Amino acid sequence: MAKFKLNLNPTVILVALLFLGALAFAMYFTAVTVRKNGISASWGKLERPPKLSDTVRVYISSGLFNLYELIYTVGIRELFKVGAAAQIVAEHTPTFGKAALGGDKDAKVVLEIMDALHISRGGMALDCANRNWESYIPARDGFNMNFFMSAAAGITFQDIQPHFEKYGIQNVIEDTWALNGVWLLEAVYAFDMYNLISRCNCMIFNANGIAMDDGSCVELGIGTARGLPITIHRNENTSNFAVGLCNPMVSGASGTSLVYPPPTWPTPKIAEDKLQEHIRKWIHTGDQNYCRNTPPSRVTRYWDSVGQKIWDWKYDDYRIDDDGTLPNDIYSKDWIDFTQGNLGDLGLALAVAKIMDIQAEIKYKAGVPSVGSSFEWQIHDGKARKTMRMPKYKSPKRPS
């Protein structure tokens, strides 16, 4: 019987070892890269939130429907600026109009309230800046729906359409303009989702109110699912639960106990201090990149991309000053022309049209039908297909 003889050629062995070594190194490097930075291909072209160890960017979630929620986030400085906060103040507290300018007795009352509630003059916007944190605050960074919707409601399509060519608006037709308010609501949702998913990596939530702001509660749930470190500010004892207890579906987002440490904190400063503790824990335990490493779902990616496009259109060079306010030179030329020029309501309506145009283009690329008159899918309309360059709609085949 012939014996098998193994030929142990040193050259072959050396080549094999080098190959296996290179393969092992490549696998290790890939695993470390994925663990450290996530799989960028899953995010596509979307922005990803920064690492907590590099940049702390806080999503300050709060309603926009009373004076306390405004001064808690932006303080008294933003109340007299031409922006989202100023518009809300004008709508809900008429005596706080332009004549105040921070110097009349109304402003004095607000300052007394802020002192009683331990809120700094610049609100949490200034607090974050003093901690070298970045922040997203809807009252400062977003736009007021009512402000734009009211202006757009008074402008007909025949009045606004002649201005489209100048500003590159191509995908807005008369049927869709009739529902500009619906499109604007979509844009507001997308704007906040972009900041919540792609820009921010931690959160402070304002839980005050017998009925907490429902939109903020949704943001809290999304932030919890995204793995953001979260603290909750609440200085009211009112509740629809017994003895002033906070709803456990809210308070559970702040940690692993509803007893100790307590889930809510009575002043903004304490909430910020506790968030700092959470951030240290996230970095120490390796959870700091969870939101960065976990790409959003398909539907969320769509809203995220819409919000990112609108953000990039509104801001040329977004940044926050040392006092927590936004400088005047960060906005795009279109935004300045529309909101600060001499166009009045027409300018605000053109801003809405431009936002609709951005959305329509993304809907087309994503294969998402757009809403037209009477809430029918506009993709079925031949005029819309031609204007929005949408392919002819084909009903999906039913399984046999």
Q: pLDDT digits over 163-174, tens only?
A: 999 999 999 999
> 355-384: string of b/e by CB count within 10 Å (b at 16+)?
bbbbbbbbbbeeebbbbbeeeeebbebeeb
Mean pLDDT of 242-266: 77
Q: Is residue 357 scored above 90 in pLDDT?
A: yes
In this predicted model, what pLDDT tens digit does every residue of 359-387 receive, in sequence order? 998 888 777 766 553 333 333 344 444 33
Judge whether 39 and 296 are in contact, CB under 8 Å: no
Is the model's pLDDT at 192 over the cut of 60? yes
Q: Which of 148-157, 205-214, 273-282 has the lowest mean pLDDT?
A: 205-214
Secondary structure (DSSP) of 216-255: HHHHHHHHHHTT--EEEE------SSGGGPPPHHHHGGGS
What average pLDDT does this structure show over 345-356?
95
- pLDDT grade, residue 335 (50/70/90)? very high
Nearest residue to 137 via CA among 264, 320, 310:
320
Q: What does the longest C-alpha to C-alpha distance in the chain come to? A: 110
Binning pLDDT at 50, 70 and 90, where does residue 392 land?
very low
In the sheet with 202-206, reading across from the earlier edge strand, the strands are 134-136, 57-61, 202-206, 230-233, 264-265
pLDDT for 376: 37
Q: Which of these ranges, 51-60, 77-86, 257-266, has the smallest mean pLDDT?
A: 77-86
Q: What is the pLDDT of residues 82-120, one digit of tens each?
A: 455 555 555 544 444 443 444 456 677 778 888 888 888
Q: What's the rounded mean pLDDT across residues 191-217?
A: 89
The domains of the chain, with CATH numbers, are 57-141+202-287 (3.40.50), 143-201+298-395 (no CATH)
Q: Say which range, 30-44, 193-207, 305-319, 331-345, has the weakest mean pLDDT.
A: 30-44
- In this prediction, what percent of the chain has a pLDDT beyond 90? 40
- What DSSP string describes 48-96? -PPPTTT--EEEEE--SSSHHHHHHHHTTGGGGSSSHHHHHHHHH-GGG
pTM over 0.85, yes/no = no
